[in-house]
Amino acid sequence: MGKIHVANLATRIPEAELVAVCDILPEELARVAGKFNIAVRFPEFTRMLERPDIEAVAICTPSNTHYQLVLEALAARKHVFCEKPLDPAIEKVEEMNAQARARGLHLMVGFNRRFDPNFAKVREIVKSGAIGEPHVVRITSRDPAPPPEQFIRASGGLFLDMTIHDFDMASYLAGSPVTEVYARATVLVDPVFERAGDWDTAVVTLTFANGAMGTIDNSRQAVYGYDQRVEVFGSKGMVTVGNNTPDNHILLDRVGVHSALPLNFFMERYTESYRREMQAFVEAVKANRPVPVTAYDSLMAVVIGLAAAKSVRENRPVKISELYDGGN
């Protein structure tokens, strides 16, 4: 993810000046900085934070380092963009949020799918009232292939690593928070998930505060590529978007009708969303406007993920209020 954000900041977001890059792996640092001709390089994050000409940082390290690095950056008075999730622990997200607020600093979380032009259009249509009251949100989200075992073990599990994007998208599209989760999950793709105490296939039912309902289905392996579709059905109509493909051709022959497979994975499918989310962060910092995705959004997606895992383990619907009382 760091490479994607560096590439965008260096070449596609003229409002930002990329001052320095940091990575604890010297070869990785040299490769990325060399590719984009960035002279100022740091193997240590704390040293980079000492530079007064750095106003904001983008933290794209593994999720279990976010808490420490975000707090260090805020203490050094830098605005922070951090990849999702901020942290799987509710108290830690609350602390990061409180530290940012106390210092008047921006803290934005990388739920990039909100910035995908297709999904943003769906949200815009729902918000406009064109489909009336939303009744059902449907999200299909399937990866092309499972990640390596090491990643699975450190990922926080299916719901906190993968479905977390869909939880955020579901609340965003419905325009309403989730109040209850009922999830079923299993291992159908690869026994490695079972060994890691995880699942690779899930179906989740959501209830929103506004009365609407939602479904999410996930798989860690769709043999035809990255399957990313959403639909919102309402009292006056329905809005839906399908997969993005490398081209729009349709071939008809004696066997059938054929078209291109979906774009293979997130780097290709969500390219534009990553640029747009970083642009939104830069604009919010420069104009001192609220960031469009907050620590609270990350917290709520984590809480829904924890509720989904609890629901699977206890085989029952779980209310969000069982895990989080809204900070009261």
Ligand X SMILES: NC(=O)c1ccc[n+]([C@@H]2O[C@H](COP(=O)([O-])OP(=O)(O)OC[C@H]3O[C@@H](n4cnc5c(N)ncnc54)[C@H](O)[C@@H]3O)[C@@H](O)[C@H]2O)c1
> In whole angstroms, how close is the CB of 156 to ligand X at the nearest point?
8
Q: Which of residues 39-58 bind ligand X (CB under 6 A)?
A: 45
> Is the bond into 85 cis (omega within 30 degrees of 0)?
yes
> In whole angstroms, how close is the CB of 196 to ligand X at the nearest point?
16
264 binds ligand X (CB under 6 A): no
> Could you say which DSSP state residue 84 is in?
S
154 binds ligand X (CB under 6 A): no
> In whole angstroms, how close is the CB of 30 to ligand X at the nearest point?
12
Exposed, middle or buried by CB within 10 Å (0-12, 13-18, 19+), for 256?
exposed
Choice between 168 and 200, CB closer to ligand X: 168
Q: Which of residues 84-113 bind ligand X (CB under 6 A)?
A: 84, 110, 112
> Could you say which DSSP state residue 200 is in?
S
> In whole angstroms, how close is the CB of 229 to ligand X at the nearest point?
17
**Closest Cα partner for 205 from 126, 132, 324, 312?**
312
Nearest residue by C-beta to ligand X?
Answer: 83
Q: Which stretch binds ligand X (CB under 6 A): 20-28, 101-109, 181-189, 219-227?
A: 20-28
62 binds ligand X (CB under 6 A): yes
60 binds ligand X (CB under 6 A): yes
Looking at 2, 175, 177, 292, which residue binds ligand X (CB under 6 A)? 2
- What one-letter code names the amino acid at 289? R
Choice between 61 and 264, CB closer to ligand X: 61
Choice between 3 and 184, CB closer to ligand X: 3
Which residues, other chains included, contact 161 with Cβ-Cβ below 8 Å and sequence gap of 6+?
155
- Alpha-helical (H) ranges within 104-181 are 117-128, 149-154, 158-161, 163-174
Per-residue DSSP letters for 194-231?
Answer: HHTT--SEEEEEEEETTS-EEEEEEES--TTS-EEEEE
**Closest Cα partner for 193 from 166, 155, 228?**
155
266 binds ligand X (CB under 6 A): yes
Looking at 11, 17, 25, 194, which residue binds ligand X (CB under 6 A)? 25
Q: Which stretch binds ligand X (CB under 6 A): 60-68, 127-135, 180-188, 217-225?
A: 60-68
63 binds ligand X (CB under 6 A): yes
Q: Six-digit token pair at 125?
A: 């249509």
| Residue 70 bridge partners (DSSP) | none
Q: Which stretch binds ligand X (CB under 6 A): 61-69, 130-138, 198-206, 227-235?
A: 61-69
- Tell me how far apart the alpha carbons of residues 303 and 199 are, in angstroms, rounded to a whole number: 18
Helix, strand, or coil here: 57?
strand
30 binds ligand X (CB under 6 A): no
Choice between 45 and 324, CB closer to ligand X: 45
8 Å CB contact between 180 and 206: yes
Which residues lie near ligand X (CB under 6 A)?
1-2, 22-25, 28, 45, 60-63, 65, 83-84, 110, 112, 266
